[in-house]
A = this chain, B = another copy of it.
Amino acid sequence: MTTSGGAQPRLRSTVERGDTAAVRALVAATGFFRDDEVDVAAELVAERLSRGVASGYHFVFAEIGDRMAGYSCFGPIGCTVSSHDLYWIAVHPDFQGSGVGTDLIRETERRVGELGGTRVYVETSSTARYEPTRRFYERRGYAAEGVLRDFYAPGDGKVIFVKVLPEASASP
């Protein structure tokens, strides 16, 4: 819905040494995640750097100027033919509402398609705090396919969203 005020992010899928620290700083800056969750976000970048594509973790980084404005982390789900998980998507508070999230998710879906994926799954909490997150996914074509009540904690269920990618969406 929103468009950038002018600063178009540069999107990058390669992973560089400094990304571990940059992702840690970005995820922490959102103020949305616990310390152990911030650790996990950074660890996935480190694992990709040490193990390469075999890690199963793929990334899209959105850069504006010399800053990391946002990123996504995704990958194929084991024991499935073509399902992928979107593990993380985060936008720095300074760039929220500027369309970076939309750019990230669009590029993520394009990359999933390149990797042979046909379905993108993303999980989030059912609590009020995550209402904007759920709306974000719904507006981008994701549908809640299941809710596991009290999954994270009493009163905090897990909502599983899925988007079936249009076939041959890559080429017009």
List A residues 30-85 near B (Cβ within 8 Å). Answer: 36-37, 40, 78-83
Given A119-B150, A150-B119, CB of A79 within 8 Å of CB of B145: no
Closest beta carbon of chain B to A144's beta carbon, Å: 10
A142-155 interface bits toward B, Cβ cutoff 8 Å, 1 = contact, 0 = none: 00011111111110
Tell me the interface secondary structure of chain A in the complex. strand
Minimum CB–CB distance for A157 against chain B, Å: 10
**Copy count, this protein chain:** 2
A80-B153, A81-B153, A153-B81 known; A160-B148 Cβ under 8 A: yes
A151-B37 in contact given A146-B145, A146-B160, A160-B146 (Cβ < 8 Å): no
Query: Are B121 and A154 touching (Cβ within 8 A)?
Result: no
A: number of interface residues (CB 8 Å) = 23
Measured CA separation A36–B80 after assembly (Å): 12
Beta-carbon nearest neighbor of A81 in chain B: B153
A72-111 vs B: 1/0 string, CB under 8 Å?
0000001111110000000000000000000000000000
A122 within 8 A of B: no
Asked if A162 is at the interface (CB within 8 A of a chain B CB), the reply is yes
Q: B146 contacts A148, CB within 8 Å?
A: yes
* Alpha-carbon separation in the docked complex, A169 to B120 (Å): 39
Pair B152/A79 contact, Cβ less than 8 Å: yes
Q: Which of B150, B151, B162 contacts A148 (CB 8 A)?
A: B162
- In the complex, A160 Cα to B153 Cα: how many Å? 17
Q: Top 5 nearest A-B pairs by Cβ distance? A: A146-B146, A81-B153, A80-B152, A145-B148, A83-B151
